Amino acid sequence: MLRALTNIWHITRRELRGFGKRPILLVIMVVAPLGFLWMFTSLMQAGLPTKLPAALVDEDNTHVTRQLTRILATMEETDFVLRTPSFTEARQAMQRGEVYAIFRIPKGTTEAALTQRQPVISFYTNDTYYVAASLLMKDMRKLSEMAGLAITRATMRARGATDDQIMGTLQPIVVEAHPLGNPHLNYSVVLSNLIVPGLLMLVIMLTTSYALGMEWKRGRQLKLYTMAGRKTLVAVVGKLLPQTVLYTIIFWLIDLVFYSYLQFPCHCGVSRMMLWGFMAVLASQGFGLLLYEAFPGQMRMAMSACSLLGVMQFSLAGFSFPVSAMDEPFQWLSNIFPLHHYFLIYVNQALNGYDVSYIWSSVVALVAFFVAPLVFMFRLKDAFLNKEYEP
Amino acid sequence: MTRPKFPILHVWMDELSELVKDEGILIFVILLPLAYPLLYAMIYNTETQRELPMCVVDESMSQRSREFVRRVDATQEVRIAAHATDMSQAQELMRRRDVSAILRIPAEFDSDIWNGRQTVVGLYSDLTSMLYYKVAYLGVINVAQETNRNIKVRERMTPASTAREDDVARWPIRFEEVKLYNPQGGFAAFLIPPVLMLILQQALCLGVGMSMGRARERFRGLVIPPTRHYKNTLAIVLGKGLVHFLIFMLMALYMSVCVTRWFSLPQLAHFATLVGFFVPYLLACTYMAIFWSSFIYRREDCILLFVFMSIPLLFLSGVSWPGASIPPLWKAVGAAFPSTWGANAYVRISGMGATLGDVHSELLALWVLAGVYFLLSCLTYMHEIRKSVGRSVLS
């Protein structure tokens, strides 16, 4: 036992010396994850995008429509950068990508409304820009609804109804929405929280196969194996331990920035999230190791598989497009990615503050990613003894 | 020895034959651009969340509340998956992830409405995905607004004499919502076009990077073989670039024509417009890949360097995260990558039927990028040729 620990220590020291000789590895391991952290938190510091550019086409131009547009101008998400009487001009602006939406009040709207002829006002959103269009749609919809109600309200006021009565008539049922865990619908909370750890997990998977594969590439795998006292597990642990420590520190740094500095919602406490972060590091290392065992000694194949699968996990984790909306095979497939399970644990723990027992299956999955490579250790042993590097 | 007549042709043939012999490069140059678009299109093919499971806590238990719940159930957005007697029971279902939203109808629901007061219905939504919230909200708000209009007309206003008057009272002003260029408001039509552009850029970087890394391994740190064909900078840069450019032109057309048609994604562009856009885009991508790959000394290093790019770049492109809300620093960073301009131009060309004239500023930027990266590649190769000459003198 003591022998094994000494061997691990020796291999670890050898590995640390290796880091110094390969600046690219350090850049990818440290600079890239921290760079992504900086990038995503500053990119979305506003939380929800506000003041999105839209165009207003007021063909009617009466005091009523002007009042309407004044209300619209106060809305949070909308910024009318273009006011024009010509719809064509607005449409061209949209095609040039200068505005995401057009609000159009056609000629004769006021007159038709006052004479009860039901005018039609329209709004156009450019749904190829999904987030922007959804946000603008909400504002415009509210306004259109209000425009109609304003006319009824004027009639009722004239008949002497009280404000309560008016509201009870105009809007008998009010829907009060409570988005749980993220009451301000802060996009940064949802996206940064998963993309930054997700990118780190992708880095971990890749560098795991990279570090191992490098031994074969330089033809030093047998030397490593002898250093480990001919024990595969000792070789692997010694080799990956420095990365485990480094990545755990980076993951914790990310947690501290998110939950302590930026005050993202975290119902379970930072220390609990750090525990999940540590488990995610181990699970990702396990995933990388597993793929290396699938292609033993073939670093390039293992890394290609890592990158092809690793990029896909961002789509299949389900934080932009929910897994439940995907076709059945993809719902199943999403389970083979550590990021999906980390995501479910994050939602359960930090966002909602539920008990961990509700998410036990994902905790087990993270552990399984870490344990599974131990089962296939014999393949690595075979690779140590019999496999050469294949370009 | 005589100089070869067309050095470009030699370089071109060499690069192509190396490429088809190397399965590592083929994975990125052929398999990735062929398979990834299909995969992404299949993932997002369902377009949106339908029939989101919702739990109802009906404390009113009146005919009116039951009618309200029935209408919510009938929407395509929401499905009533469970009825709970109180909120704690409903929350338990939410914790177990059996339902993703809770609709709470207060005990006073019916009496409030009878008495002409406002009543408040609570909607609690899980934020596992932002889409859950959007879908649940849309489903309930649509029913609430429709119900409100009916109450106003049937119960609050003085009995109207004609159907027409009812209708006017319901809708003093009508409004229409037009979702331009993505009529279903779906995810695939929004996300796939920019993703296609990123796949092209990513695959090019990986493919070129891997072949450069291999050259360096083979020629002891040089990116060019020390033979006589490799003395003309322009010929090398053009010849190498042309191989990747042509392969990826085929891939780009496969994505924008075949994949788009198979999955019925919007494609309003003429073939000529597509080609006119892909030429500068792929040139810029190719030469960016060649320039950056000169920093790669081992073939596997390119995977480490390039794989992470696509996800941050998707955000910097301003298609998924609104471009208007991106801070200037990150806008500048994004501007150095062809995908930023390419994604914006392609989205407009394919989804909105823009002509080349409509996207001229993006095209100009792409040509500038192509030119800059081409010059940088030439400088790199001039340096490499000088190194290789020194090397051959030494040996």
B1 touches chain A (CB under 8 A): no
**Quick check: is B31 in a domain?**
yes
A185–B113 CB contact, under 8 Å: no
**Quick check: is B239 in a domain?**
yes
pLDDT band of residue B291 (cuts 50, 70, 90) is very high
The amino acid present at B223, given as its one-letter code, is V
Mean pLDDT for chain A? 84
* Whether residue B44 has pLDDT greater than 50: yes
Is the same domain home to B350 and B236?
yes
pLDDT at B183: 67
pLDDT at B1: 42
Closest alpha carbon within chain B to A391: B24
pLDDT band of residue B2 (cuts 50, 70, 90) is very low
**Quick check: is B179 in a domain?**
no
* Whether residue B370 has pLDDT greater than 80: yes
Spatial distance between the Cα atoms of A199 and A341, rounded to a whole number of angstroms: 15
- Region of poorest pLDDT, from A81-90, A382-391, B30-39, B171-180: B171-180
Residue B387 phi/psi, 5-degree rounding, is -60, -45
Q: Which residue is listed with tokens 């919602």?
A: A265
pLDDT at A324: 82
- Region of poorest pLDDT, from A309-313, B40-44, B166-170, B354-358: B166-170
Q: Is A148 exposed, middle or buried (0-12, 13-18, 19+ CB in 10 A)?
A: buried
A165–B116 CB contact, under 8 Å: yes
Which residues have a Cβ under 8 Å from the Cβ of A172 and sit 6 or more positions away? B112, B113, B118, B119, B147, B148, B151, B152
Q: Which of 107-146 (B) contact A at CB < 8 A?
A: 112-113, 115-134, 137, 140-141, 144-145
Q: For residue B86, what is the DSSP state?
A: S
Of A39, A140, A174, the CB nearest to B118: A174
Angle formed at CA B44 by CA B38 and CA B49, multiple of 5 degrees: 160
Tokens of B162: 């004609």
**Quick check: is B182 in a domain?**
no
* Whether residue B265 has pLDDT greater than 60: yes
**CB-CB neighbors (< 8 A) of B157 in chain A:** 169
Angle formed at CA B85 by CA B84 and CA B87, multiple of 5 degrees: 75
B324–A314 CB contact, under 8 Å: no
The per-residue DSSP string of B87-131 comes to HHHHHHHHHTTS-SEEEEE-TTHHHHHHTT--EEEEEEE--SSHH
Q: How far A271 CA lies from chain B's nearest CA (Å)?
A: 22
Which residues have a Cβ under 8 Å from the Cβ of B274 and sit 6 or more positions away? B252, B253, B256, B257, B349, B350
What is each CA distance from A75 to A79, A90, A137, in whole angstroms?
A: 8, 20, 12
* Whether residue A363 has pLDDT greater than 90: yes
Is the same domain home to B123 and B222?
no
Q: Are A191 and B312 in contact (CB under 8 A)?
A: no
Which residues have a Cβ under 8 Å from the Cβ of A388 and sit 6 or more positions away? A216, A219, A297
Q: Beta strands B52-58 and B174-180: pairing type?
A: unpaired
Question: Of B170, B203, B235, which residue constitutes the final position of a domain?
Answer: B170
Q: Which of 70-109 (A) contact B at CB < 8 A?
A: 92, 94-97, 100, 109
B187–A137 CB contact, under 8 Å: no
Q: What CATH number did the domain enclosing B166 receive? A: 3.40.1710.10
A172–B95 CB contact, under 8 Å: no
B308 touches chain A (CB under 8 A): yes
Q: How far B64 CA lies from chain A's nearest CA (Å)?
A: 12
The per-residue DSSP string of A98-119 comes to S-SEEEEE-TTHHHHHHTT---
3-state secondary structure at position A124: strand
Q: Which one of A127, A146, A313 would you mutate to disrupt binding with B, by most B Cβ within 10 Å of its Cβ?
A: A127
Is the same domain home to B208 and B247?
yes
Q: How far A200 CA lies from chain B's nearest CA (Å)?
A: 10
Which has the higher per-residue pLDDT, B300 or B224? Answer: B300
Which has the higher per-residue pLDDT, A271 or A76? Answer: A271
Q: Are A201 and A282 in contact (CB under 8 A)?
A: no
pLDDT at A47: 61
Which residues have a Cβ under 8 Å from the Cβ of B165 and sit 6 or more positions away? A116
Q: Which of 128-157 (A) contact B at CB < 8 A?
A: 128-134, 137, 140-141, 144-145, 147-148, 151-152
B341 touches chain A (CB under 8 A): no
Mean pLDDT for chain B? 85
**Quick check: is B352 in a domain?**
yes
Spatial distance between the Cα atoms of B13 and B19, rounded to a whole number of angstroms: 10
Q: How far A172 CA lies from chain B's nearest CA (Å)?
A: 5
Q: Which of 149-188 (B) contact A at CB < 8 A?
A: 151-152, 156-157, 165, 167-169, 171-183, 185, 187
Q: Are B268 and B180 in contact (CB under 8 A)?
A: no
Strand positions, DSSP E, chain B: 52-58, 78-84, 101-105, 119-125, 174-180
Spatial distance between the Cα atoms of B343 and A97, rounded to a whole number of angstroms: 12
Is the same domain home to B121 and B40?
no
Of B119, B125, B344, the CB nearest to A177: B125
Of B45, B181, B187, the CB nearest to A126: B181
3-state secondary structure at position A215: helix
pLDDT at B395: 46
Is the same domain home to B365 and B301?
yes
Q: For residue A84, what is the DSSP state?
A: E
Q: Which of 161-200 (A) contact B at CB < 8 A?
A: 164-165, 167-182, 185, 187, 190, 195, 198-199
3-state secondary structure at position A51: coil
Is the same domain home to B19 and B73?
no
pLDDT at B277: 94
**CB-CB neighbors (< 8 A) of A168 in chain B:** 112, 115-118, 156
* Whether residue B296 has pLDDT greater than 60: yes
pLDDT digits (tens, 9 = 90+) for A68-118: 777 777 777 778 888 888 888 988 888 777 888 888 888 888 888 777 777
Average pLDDT over residues B122-133: 84
Q: Are B209 and B27 in contact (CB under 8 A)?
A: no
Handedness of CA B382, B387, B388, B390 (dihedral sign): positive
Is the same domain home to B36 and B65?
no
Q: Beta strands B119-125 and B78-84: pairing type?
A: unpaired
Q: Are B359 and B345 in contact (CB under 8 A)?
A: yes
* Whether residue B80 has pLDDT greater than 90: yes
Is the same domain home to B57 and B155?
yes
Order of strands across the sheet with B78-84?
A173-179, B119-125, B101-105, B52-58, B78-84
CATH code for the structural domain at A52-170: 3.40.1710.10
Range of the domain at B305: 7-44+187-390
B148–A128 CB contact, under 8 Å: no
How many residues can be counted in chain B?
Answer: 395
Give the residue from B289, B305, B304, B310 showing the smallest Cα distance to B223.
B289
Q: Is A115 exposed, middle or buried (0-12, 13-18, 19+ CB in 10 A)?
A: exposed
ipTM above 0.95, yes or no: no
A322–B129 CB contact, under 8 Å: yes
Spatial distance between the Cα atoms of B16 and B95, rounded to a whole number of angstroms: 56
3-state secondary structure at position A58: strand
Tokens of A13: 């020291």
pLDDT digits (tens, 9 = 90+) for A152-206: 777 777 778 787 777 777 778 888 777 777 766 677 777 788 889 999 999 999 9
**Quick check: is B67 in a domain?**
yes
Average pLDDT over residues B3-27: 79
Give the residue from A344, A348, A383 showing the smallest Cα distance to A365.
A344
How many domains would you assign to chain B? Answer: 2
B329 touches chain A (CB under 8 A): yes
Domain boundaries, chain A: 2-45+186-386, 52-170
How many interface pairs between A and B have CB atoms less than 8 angstroms apart?
A: 327
3-state secondary structure at position A176: strand
Average pLDDT over residues A310-326: 83
The per-residue DSSP string of A4-48 comes to HHHHHHHHHHHHHHHHHH-HHHHIIIIIHHHHHHHHHHHHTTTSS
Is the same domain home to B198 and B262?
yes
B307–A164 CB contact, under 8 Å: no
Average pLDDT over residues B242-253: 93
Which has the higher per-residue pLDDT, A143 or A249? Answer: A249
Average pLDDT over residues B51-60: 92
**CB-CB neighbors (< 8 A) of A264 in chain B:** none
Largest CA distance in chain A: 96
Is the same domain home to B220 and B341?
yes
pLDDT band of residue A48 (cuts 50, 70, 90) is low
Phi-psi map region of B116: left, alpha, beta (phi>0 left; psi -120 to 50 alpha): left
How many residues can be counted in chain A?
Answer: 391
Is the same domain home to B264 and B287?
yes
Largest CA distance in chain B: 104
Spatial distance between the Cα atoms of A208 and A202, rounded to a whole number of angstroms: 10
pLDDT at B160: 57
Q: How far B22 CA lies from chain A's nearest CA (Å)?
A: 9
pLDDT at A203: 92
Is the same domain home to B161 and B201?
no
Of B147, B175, B348, the CB nearest to A95: B348
A292 touches chain B (CB under 8 A): no
